[in-house]
Amino acid sequence: MQRLKAELKVAGGKLVRVSVQTEGGRVESLKLTGDFFLHPEDSISKIEECVRGAALEDDGAEIAGRIDSLARRDGLLLVGFSGSDVAKAIIAATATSKKIE
């Protein structure tokens, strides 16, 4: 299992930071941080959990779709970032990061 990290500066200047563990081409676990806002604030763990098991596709469509569906279903308000931004950061981590011990 690999732990990979990446940062993404999104439109509007917010920063999305991910630390992701992968296995078999899928997200095993995710830690999401940055200078964005999320309401309710304690919902970040829901986002981290909802991407578990998602395929690491080149475009991140499955990851973004899972986050967007969660936001609609649970009424989450993502301010300064989107599901697509998180997906881009995860894909960037898997494409550019090296294993972190």
- Per-residue pLDDT reduced to its tens digit, 54-75: 999 889 999 999 999 999 999 9
Domain chopping of the chain, boundaries: 2-96
Question: What long-range pairs does 21-25 form, CB within 8 A, spacing at least 24?
Answer: 22/56, 22/94, 25/55, 25/56
- Per-residue b or e along 9-45, where b marks 16 or more CB atoms closer than 10 Å to that residue's CB: ebeeebbbbbbbebeeeebeebebebebebeeeebbe
pTM, 2 dp: 0.90
Q: Is the pLDDT of residue 37 over 90?
A: yes
pLDDT of residue 100: 40
**Under CATH, what is the fold of the domain 2-96?**
Enolase-like; domain 1 (3.30.390)
